[in-house]
Structure 1
Amino acid sequence: MLDSLLNAFSGIRFGWRDALDIFVVAFIAYEFLKLIRHTRAVQIGIGAGLVITMYYLSEVVMLRTVNWFVGNLLSYVVFAAIVLFQADLRRVLSRLGRASLFRHFTRRATTDEMVEEVVTAAGMLAERKVGALIAIERDIGLRTYVDSGIYLDARVTYDLLVSVFQPESPLHDGAVVIQENRVAAASCFLPLTVNAQSTHLGTRHRAAIGLTEESDAVALIVSEETGAVSLAIDGEIESGLDSRQLTNRLDSVIWDFNGTILDDVALAAASISKVLRVRNLPDLDVSTHRRVFGFPISEYYERIGFDLSVDVLAGVSDEFHEVYLAGVGACSLNDGVLELLEFFQRWNVAQFILSAAEQTMLESWVRIHQLEPFFKAVYGLPDRHGKTKTDRGIDLLSHHAIDSSQTLFIGDTDHDAEVAEALGSHPVVVLQGHQDRAR
Structure 2
Amino acid sequence: MIKHIIWDWNGTLFNDVEMSVSVMNSILKERKLPIMTVEYYRSIFTFPVVDYYKKLNLNFKEEPFEIVGKIFIDRYEERKGESSLHKNVNSLLNELKENSIQQSILSAYSQVTLEKILVYHNIHSYFSNVVGLSHIYADSKIENGKKLISKLDHNKDEILFIGDTVHDFEVAEELGIKSILFAKGHQSEETLRRTGVPVINEITEMKNYLEI
TM-score normalised by L of structure 2: 0.85
Residue 296 of structure 1: aligned partner: 48
Matched ranges for 1:67-146 at <5 A: none
Work out whether residues 251 and 403 of structure 1, in 8 Å CA contact, stay in contact via their aligned partners in 2: no
* Superposed structure 1 runs of 4+ greater than 4 Å apart: none
Q: Which runs of 5+ in 2 are unaligned?
A: 192-212
Matched residues in 1 for 2:73 and 2:59: separation?
18
Residue 135 of structure 2: aligned partner: 383
Residue 367 of structure 1: aligned partner: 119
Q: Provide the secondary structure at the position in 1 that maps to 2:160.
A: strand
- Amino acid aligned to 2:164: D
Identity of aligned residues (%): 32
Matched residues in 1 for 2:71 and 2:79: separation?
14
Residue 255 of structure 1: aligned partner: 7
Residue 344 of structure 1: aligned partner: 96
Q: Provide the secondary structure at the position in 2 that maps to 1:352.
A: strand
Work out whether residues 5 and 101 of structure 2, in 8 Å CA contact, stay in contact via their aligned partners in 1: yes
Task: Classify 1:385/1:267 alpha carbon distance in 2 versus 1 (closer, same or farther; 3 Å).
Answer: closer
- Amino acid aligned to 1:288: Y
Bigger relative contact order, structure 1 or 2, given CA contacts below 8 A and separation 6+? 2
Q: Provide the secondary structure at the position in 2 that maps to 1:283.
A: coil
Matched residues in 2 for 1:398 and 1:339: separation?
28
After superposition, the CA RMSD in angstroms is: 1.6
- Amino acid aligned to 1:310: E
The number of residues matched between the two structures is 191
Matched residues in 1 for 2:40 and 2:90: separation?
28
TM-superposed CA distance for 1:268, in Å, is 0.5
Task: Classify 1:324/1:252 alpha carbon distance in 2 versus 1 (closer, same or farther; 3 Å).
Answer: same
Q: Which runs of 5+ in 1 are unaligned?
A: 1-248
Q: Provide the secondary structure at the position in 2 that maps to 1:409.
A: strand
1:221-260 Cα distance to aligned partner (Å, 9 max, x none): xxxxxxxxxxxxxxxxxxxxxxxxxxxx212000000000
Matched ranges for 1:175-214 at <5 A: none
Residue 198 of structure 2: aligned partner: none
Residue 308 of structure 1: aligned partner: 60
Q: Provide the secondary structure at the position in 1 that maps to 2:86.
A: coil
Residue 109 of structure 1: aligned partner: none
- Amino acid aligned to 1:286: V
Greater Rg, structure 1 or structure 2? 1
Of the three residues 321, 335, 341, the one matched with 2:87 is 335
TM-superposed CA distance for 1:385, in Å, is 5.2
Q: Provide the secondary structure at the position in 1 that maps to 2:190.
A: coil
TM-superposed CA distance for 1:338, in Å, is 2.1
Q: Provide the secondary structure at the position in 2 that maps to 1:438.
A: helix
Matched residues in 2 for 1:343 and 1:300: separation?
36
Of the three residues 105, 109, 114, the one matched with 1:357 is 109
Matched residues in 2 for 1:254 and 1:386: separation?
18
